Amino acid sequence: MIERYVLRYFLAVVDQGNFTRAAAQCRISQPTLSVGIAKLEASLGQTLFLRNNRRIELTPSGTRFAVHARRIEAEFAAAERDLQDTAPTKLVRIGVATTLPPSWIAAALGRARRASTIERLEVVEGRSSELVALLDRGRGST
Amino acid sequence: MIERYVLRYFLAVVDQGNFTRAAAQCRISQPTLSVGIAKLEASLGQTLFLRNNRRIELTPSGTRFAVHARRIEAEFAAAERDLQDTAPTKLVRIGVATTLPPSWIAAALGRARRASTIERLEVVEGRSSELVALLDRGRGST
DNA sequence: CTGGCTTACGGACTTCGTAAACATC
DNA sequence: GATGTTTACGAAGTCCGTAAGCCAG
């Protein structure tokens, strides 16, 4: 199965025109990149580069594959950008003492949800001592 | 960096509606899938699923991410299909004796290239004895 | 001899599975 | 108690770098 990292190796070679500079771009050693490309070619059953000359050349298959590879990389980038734009999920875990009237809790939660940007809310019921114990065990909010 | 395999885990959960069936679809154990999703959420800084109820639900972020994920998976599939359609690369490595006139060789190669579907051709020059030695060392064509 | 790709081999990281804990119904 | 997710930890796989080999100009 083709994984994303070899795809980045492949595109680096296309961009740089040789394996050595491509490896530098990817911040890996040149032999590592070499075996990565070999893996990719093996799993596709296709030679992607002609290494005959000083300059690396794309085969016809390689040229077609490059189109897909660019689209995939672009979509990965778009996905990360898209979710980066929104603030990270705010997880709030609230301990509520069972001694409090449930109606109070419901009302307070309703107000809080409308007023803030909390996406995920967990409510833990229990007596004060139990809630403190939970916090100590690292199940508190961050 | 998000790798493809977690993306497959993610889409399996979206499709199946729970982690257990998703793991079965991916042919992995359920805990393995669980940590995979956790990794994905951590690297995105976003919660993708609401696990509150019996049924898994997508968060708003998760829904948007699913769009990208589907596109990426589709493009991977397209790439593999695209290159699968053409026959695997035929690599032919030919040993040519230096005693033959170069014009013969050029003419023969030209005819061969037009007549066949060879994509990659390597020519090795040398005397007969040297060529046999190369073949013995496993550098012959398959 | 230089520049560049490939092969060989260990080390390190991480994916994976089993087992157990935790949670909800 | 049944169903389903998370955590813990050891085993297996694989990505990676160093070193050496191979090839062309």
- pLDDT tens digits along A41-81: 999 999 999 998 688 999 999 999 999 999 999 999 999 99
Q: What are the CB-based long-range contacts (under 8 Å, 24+) for A22-30?
A: none
Residue boundaries of the structural domains of chain A:
4-85, 91-136
Whether A32 CB is under 7 Å from strand D: yes
At residue B89 the predicted structure's pLDDT band, cuts being 50, 70 and 90, is low
Beta strand segments in A71-135, E? 91-97, 120-126
Buried b (16+ CB within 10 A) or exposed e, B25-50: bbebeeeebbebbeebbeebebbbbe
- What values do phi and psi take at B122, rounded to 5? -120, 135
Using CA coordinates, name the residue in chain A closest to B60.
A119
- How many whole angstroms separate alpha carbon A32 and alpha carbon A34? 5
At residue A85 the predicted structure's pLDDT band, cuts being 50, 70 and 90, is confident
| Choice among A100-104, A138-142, B49-53 with the minimum mean pLDDT | A138-142
Q: Do B122 and A52 touch (CB under 8 A)?
A: yes
Check: pTM over 0.85? Answer yes or no: no
pLDDT digit string (tens) for B25-78? 999 999 999 999 999 999 999 999 999 767 899 999 999 999 999 999 999 999
pLDDT greater than 70 at residue B131 = no
Tokens of B82: 């695209």
Domain A4-85 maps to which CATH number in 1.10.10.10, 3.40.50.11540, 1.10.540.10, 1.10.3080.10? 1.10.10.10
Which whole number is the average pLDDT over B71-99?
75
At residue B92 the predicted structure's pLDDT band, cuts being 50, 70 and 90, is low
- Quick one: pLDDT at residue B52? 79
- Quick one: pLDDT at residue A56? 94
Instruction: Classify B6 in phi/psi space as left (phi over 0), alpha (psi -120 to 50) or beta.
Output: alpha
Mean pLDDT for chain A? 77
- Consecutive H or E run containing B97: strand B91-97
Q: How far is B47 from chain A (nearest CA, A)?
A: 6
Most confident of A15-19, B119-123, B129-133: A15-19
CB atoms within 10 A of CB B77: 11
Q: Tell me which of B53 and A113 has the higher pLDDT.
A: B53
Residue B113 at interface with chain A, using a CB cutoff of 8 Å: no
Residue A89 at interface with chain B, using a CB cutoff of 8 Å: yes
At residue A127 the predicted structure's pLDDT band, cuts being 50, 70 and 90, is very low
